[in-house]
Amino acid sequence: MVGVQVIVGGLLLGAIYALFSSGLTLIWGMMNFINFAHGEFVMLGMYVALLVVTWLGGGPAVFAVAAAAALFALGVGLYSSLIRHVIRGPLLAQILSTFGLALLLRYTAFLVFSANFVSLPPTALAGTIKVAGIFLPVAQLVAGAAALILTIALHILLTRTTVGSKLLAVAEDRAAAMLMGIRPDHMQALAWGLSAGAAGIAGALMATAYPWSPSVGETFSLIAFVVVALGGFGSVLGSLYAGLIVGLIQAVSAFWLGAIYKDIVVYGLFVVLLWLRPQGLMGRT
């Protein structure tokens, strides 16, 4: 029974990993652009949730949507003010710009929110349900389910809708897309909005279960990069599988081998997989 508990916990965690990684992979797939500030978007999502709960009250539906909206706006704003310009520059300029952005966001958060760890006050999501001897923390259950649904929705948006086709068209061939009457800047701004929005909502959902401080973004960035590389750069569905796999492997190896070995197992398997399949699980060759 403990085994089932471990596996369920790992999958719930993995679903969240998938949600915040999907935004990173979206930007990569759309623009061949690595966003080092992605973990900071997650962190900002957490603080937006906190501000909304403290000032306005309201349940998880309210603060998760607020975080998604705020981060969507931030993503679009950043694209129009910063990314649009640096993307024409050399690779180093692109990387430096988002790395600098990450530091700027992190230390602004230190200034505004201080270095203290904070947690969301107990919400409607506090508590645990027990199903067939398995404890399901409500917060993680809701977060995991929402993450799963949103990641799949993002995948459907990209592969089954006109907007998705336009987004992919711009990624495929910018000039040809412009000839078809698609405005690449609009599409890419939308991609940044969706990417940051997904990170924001993931942050808000995670804030229900984890204490955090402004430096939490570092931890999430690393996980996001691993998930994205494992799933295949640019594949939302790939990051979903990879997120679930990473969460599961971490939980299983932490329980049966010990907590200090979980990262060795994850990164060991990661290296083996990249050796066998460098493009990742679902990446295009």
Partner 1 sequence: MKRSSLLFAALCLTAVAISAPTARAAGTVKIGVLMPLTGNAAAAGQAAKAAIEVATDIVNNAHPELGNLPLAATAGLPNLGGAKIDVVFVDHQGNPSTAQQLATQLITQDKVNALLGAYQSSCTFTATPVAERYGIPFMVGDSAALNITTRGFKYVFRATPIATDYARTYMRFFADMKKQGKKIDSIAIVNENTDYGTSVGDAIEAEAKKDNMPVAIRIPYSASSTDVSAQVLQLKEKNPDVVIFISYTADSILYMKTMKSLDYKPQMILGDDSGFSDPSFIPAINDIAQGVMNRSAWAIGKPGSTTDEINQMYKAKTGRDLDDTSARNMQAFFALADAINRAGSTDPEKIRTALAATDLKPDQLMMGYQGIKYDSTGQNILAATYLIQLQGKQYQLVWPETAATAALQWPMRGAAQ
- Residue 54 found at the interface with partner 1 (CB under 8 A): no
Please identify which residue in 54, 104, 107, 267 interacts with partner 1, judged by CB under 8 A: 107
- Residue 205 found at the interface with partner 1 (CB under 8 A): no
- Residue 230 found at the interface with partner 1 (CB under 8 A): no
- Residue 118 found at the interface with partner 1 (CB under 8 A): yes
Residue 80 is classified by DSSP as I
- How far does the chain reach from its first CA to its final CA, in angstroms? 41
CA pair distance 27, 233, nearest whole angstrom: 9
CA pair distance 191, 31, nearest whole angstrom: 9
Please identify which residue in 71, 223, 237, 245 interacts with partner 1, judged by CB under 8 A: 223
CA pair distance 18, 55, nearest whole angstrom: 30
CA pair distance 240, 202, nearest whole angstrom: 13
- Residue 93 found at the interface with partner 1 (CB under 8 A): no
- Residue 113 found at the interface with partner 1 (CB under 8 A): no
Residues in contact with partner 1, counted by CB under 8 A, come to a total of 53
> Among 18-26, 59-67, 94-102, 196-204, which window interacts with partner 1 (CB under 8 A)?
94-102
**How crowded is residue 145: how many other Cβ atoms within 10 Å of its Cβ?**
13
Min separation Cβ 90 and partner 1, Å: 11
Please identify which residue in 103, 145, 163, 271 interacts with partner 1, judged by CB under 8 A: 103
CA pair distance 186, 192, nearest whole angstrom: 10
Min separation Cβ 196 and partner 1, Å: 20
- Residue 114 found at the interface with partner 1 (CB under 8 A): yes
- Residue listed under structure tokens 């993450």: 147
CA pair distance 164, 12, nearest whole angstrom: 27
What are the residues whose beta carbons fall under 8 Å from the beta carbon of 83, sequence distance 6 or more? 33, 97, 98, 188, 192
Helix (H, G, I), strand (E, B) or coil at 134: strand
Considering beta carbons, is residue 60 or 193 the nearer one to partner 1? 60
CB of 97 closer than 8 Å to CB of 37: no
Q: HSE of 106 in the Cβ direction (CA atoms, 13 Å)?
A: 20
Min separation Cβ 167 and partner 1, Å: 23
- Residue 109 found at the interface with partner 1 (CB under 8 A): no
Considering beta carbons, is residue 165 or 279 the nearer one to partner 1? 279
Q: Which residues bind partner 1 (CB under 8 A)?
A: 2, 5-6, 9, 13, 34, 36, 91-92, 95-96, 99, 103, 107, 110, 114-119, 122, 127-128, 130, 135, 137, 139-140, 209-216, 219-220, 223, 229, 233, 247, 250-252, 254-255, 258-260, 262-263
